[in-house]
Amino acid sequence: MSEFILQILNGLDKGSAYALIALGLTLIFGTLGVVNFAHGALFMIGAFCSVTLSRILSASYETVDPTQKDFLGNPLKVKSTYMESWLGPDIGGAIIDWSVPLAILFSIPIMIAVGIAMERGLIKHFYKRPHADQILVTFGLAIILQEIIRGFYGANPIQTPAPEALSSVAQLGGALGLEIVYPAWRMVYFFFALATIGGVFAFLQFTTFGMVVRAGMADRETVGLMGINIDRRFTIMFAIAAVVAGWAGVMYAPINAPNYHMGMDFLVLSFVVVVVGGMGSLPGAVAAGFLLGILESFASWERFKVFDGLDQIIIYLVAIIILLTRPRGLMGKKGVMED
Partner 1 sequence: MLGLNKKDFNLLMVVVGLSLFAPFILNIFPKDSAMAFFNGGYPDLMQRFAIFGIFAIGFNILFGLTGYLSFGHAAFLGVGSYAAVWMFKLLGYNVVPGLILSVIVAGLLSVVIGYVSLRRSGIYFSILTLAFAQMMYSIAYSDLFGRWLGITLTNGETGLQVYSNDPQILLGENSPIVPHIFGLEMNARLTLPIGPWEFVFPVGYYFSALFLVLAFYLSIRIFRSPFGLMLRAVKSNNQRMTYTGLNPRPYTLAAFIISGMYAGLAGGLLASMDPLAGAERMYWTESGAVVIMTILGGVGTLIGPVLGAGTIKYMENIISKMNEKLLHEWFGFLPDSLEYSIVWVASWFTGEGWHMTQGVVFMLVIIFLPGGLVEGGQRLAARFGAKSNDTGKTAQPAE
Partner 2 sequence: MTNKLTRRGVLKSGAVAGAGVALPTIFTASSASAQAYTNEPTGSTVTLGFNVPQTGPYAEEGLDELRAQELAVEHLNGEGDGGCLNTFTSKALKGNGILGKKVQFVTGDTQTKSDAARASAKSMIEKDGAIMINGGSSSGVAIAVQGLCQEAGVIFMAGLTHSNDTTGKDRKANGFRHFFNAYMSAAALAPVLKSEYGADRRAYHLTADYTWGWSQQESIAAATEAMGWETVNNVLTPLAATDFSSYITPVLNSGADVLVLNHYGGNMVNSLTNAIQFGLRDKMVNGKQFEIVVPLYSELMAAGAGKNVQGVLGSMNYNWQLDNEGSRAFVKSFGEKYGRPPSNSAQTCYAQTLLYADACERAGTFNPCGVAEALEGFEFDGLGNGPTLYRADDHQCFKDVLVVKGKENPTNEYDTLEIVDQTPVAQVTYAPDHPMFGGAEASLGTCNPGA
- 143 makes contact, choosing from partner 2, partner 1, none, with CB < 5 to 8 Å by partner type, with partner 1
Q: Cβ contacts of residue 141 below 8 Å, gap of 6+?
A: 37, 38, 41, 118, 122
314: Cα separation from own chain's centroid: 21
Binding region for partner 2 (CB under 8 A): 2-3, 6-7, 10-11, 13-14, 68, 70-72, 76, 79, 150, 154-159, 161, 167-169, 181-183, 185-186, 255-257, 259, 261-262, 265, 296-298, 300-302, 308-309, 311-312
- 316 makes contact, choosing from partner 1, partner 2, none, with CB < 5 to 8 Å by partner type, with partner 1
Q: Which helix (H) or strand (E) holds 169?
A: strand 169-172
Q: Write the DSSP assignment of 199-222 as a string of letters.
A: HHHHHHHHSHHHHHHHHHHH-HHH
Whichever of 19 and 166 has its CB closer to partner 1, that residue is 19
Which residues sit opposite 79 in a β-bridge?
A: 62
Question: Residue 259 CB, nearest distance to partner 2 (Å)?
Answer: 7
Please give the single-letter amino acid code of residue 318. Answer: V
Whichever of 149 and 251 has its CB closer to partner 1, that residue is 149
- 262 makes contact, choosing from partner 1, partner 2, none, with CB < 5 to 8 Å by partner type, with partner 2
- Please count the other Cβ atoms lying within 10 Å of the Cβ belonging to residue 204: 19
- 141 makes contact, choosing from partner 1, partner 2, none, with CB < 5 to 8 Å by partner type, with partner 1
- Please count the other Cβ atoms lying within 10 Å of the Cβ belonging to residue 25: 29
Strand, coil or helix: 67: strand
Binding region for partner 1 (CB under 8 A): 35, 122, 125, 129, 131-133, 135-137, 139-144, 146-148, 151, 264, 268, 271-272, 275, 279, 307-309, 312-313, 315-317, 319-320, 323-324, 327-329, 337-339
